[in-house]
Amino acid sequence: MKGKKKTIALAVYFILLFLPIYWMLNMSLRTNADILSTLTLYPADPTWKNYIKIFTDSDWYSGFINSIIYVTINTMISLTVALPAAYAFSRYTFIGDKHIFFWLLSNRMAPAAVFLLPFFQLYSTIGLIDTYIAVALAHCLFNVPLAVWILEGFMSGIPREIDETAFIDGYSLPRFFVTIFIPLIRAGVGVTAFFCFMFSWVELLFARTLTVTSAKPIGAVMTRTISATGLDWGLMAAAGVLTIVPGALVIWFVRDYMAKGFALGRV
């Protein structure tokens, strides 16, 4: 009975969560004039016009490809450097450990607006403007600290006896880390990968500042829907629907890791 109540509450929450998304989907299948003139619960005369425009106009689809490329690079870098560092923070004490740990997160705490100009200057000086690597590197500023913090949280939940037993059994640290430890915290690795992907995907200020044309993110392309005649809501909604897809695929791929969690019995 109690489980049933829980499920109903969860279902109600999910329905509420779906409503704005459904509205976006609804808008994406209608023309701009139709959206602005009538209230309909479902598109009476659905049109694929908005989606066709995105898939055939190279400005639009290259925006998606650019975003996917730098977001993937960023997620890879973030996870690779954060995994060993998070292990160090969760297992060892060393000079300055607490200060460094907190300092890392402080890089997410500055309001971005005024920092854009020096960012642009820095990346122009080293000649990286309008490259994927520039955006991927800039996003490391907030994604690497995030990855370290989330992973550290999960690693600290694993008893240290596991490490000790493995070392007594003759495992070297790198081998233990890759073959035993990472599988143990796969829920954490999954959720970290998703969050790095997500924050890099929706970040626009840095991505827009550091790119001109050849690495322009989809979010920046979307601002083109504003024209002299006002906003093309249908086109924007269609692009919005499509921006959900890559991240939804990412979480689909990591869902098993997140759901299985701690697998002590299987090692």
Q: Is 56 or 92 the residue whose CB approaches another protein more closely?
A: 92
**How far is residue 196's CA from residue 150's CA, in Å, rounded to a whole number?**
10
Q: Output the DSSP codes for 97-143.
A: HHHHHHHHHHTT-S-HHHHHHHHHHHHHHTT-TTSHHHHHHHHHHHH
| Per-residue mark of binding to another protein, 129-158 (x: CB under 8 A) | --------xx-xx--xxx-xxx-xxx-xx-
| Per-residue mark of binding to another protein, 51-90 (x: CB under 8 A) | --------------------------x---xx-xx-xxxx
Token pair recorded at residue 1: 């009975």
Q: Which of the residues 212 through 231 are near another protein (CB under 8 A)?
A: 218-219, 222-223, 231
Token pair recorded at residue 46: 């659905």
User: Do residues 49 and 232 make contact, with C-beta atoms less than 8 angstroms apart?
Assistant: no
- Considering Cα of 255, then 261, then 265, then 267, what sign does the dihedral take? positive
Beta carbon of residue 166, minimum distance to another protein (angstroms, whole number): 14
> What is residue 178's DSSP assignment?
I
Beta carbon of residue 151, minimum distance to another protein (angstroms, whole number): 10
> Is 43 near another protein (CB under 8 A)?
no
| Per-residue mark of binding to another protein, 183-212 (x: CB under 8 A) | --x-xx-xx--xx--x--xx-x--------
Pick one of 29, 35, 193, 196: the residue that binds another protein (CB under 8 A): 35
**Coil, helix or strand for 170?**
coil
Q: Which of the residues 84 through 123 are near another protein (CB under 8 A)?
A: 84-85, 87-95, 97, 100, 102, 104-115, 117-119, 121-122
